[in-house]
Amino acid sequence: MVIFIILTAFVCSNSSGTGELDVHSTGNPDAKEILTLDPEADIFQFEGVIYKTGIDWVEELTLTKGEQVGEIKKRSDTDTNFENEMSNKLPVGAKIFSTIEKEGPILLVESEGEILKYYAIVEG
């Protein structure tokens, strides 16, 4: 009886009138979306996620370099169809590290003797 009531409420609440359920899915933003909003953004892609530097509150964190998890293998300042370990500003060969503190989805990149902090841009 309870299942019947729940199913009836669900079917009746479908406002499209077609009997079909509209499903909208969202995913993490890609390089094209990020660069459309901020053409000067310094980004790279790692494990399917775009990471961005220059985020004020992330820059204020004190973080320690953990183990190396990757490196930049491709650079393009014109292509917005990114693949993993691709950057628009970092040089090829820049090393990507985890953080010991695990302060969220943050990776460190060692480039030209400098440590840069990159935050994962994820939906949610």
9-58 per-position pLDDT tens digit: 444 455 455 555 555 556 899 999 999 999 999 999 999 999 999 999 99
Tell me what the mean pLDDT of segment 75-104 comes to: 93
107, pLDDT greater than 70: yes
Tell me what the mean pLDDT of segment 76-101 comes to: 94
Average pLDDT of the chain?
85
* pLDDT at position 4: 43
pTM: 0.77
| Cα(102)–Cα(64) distance, integer angstroms | 9
Count of other CB atoms within 10 angstroms of residue 116: 19
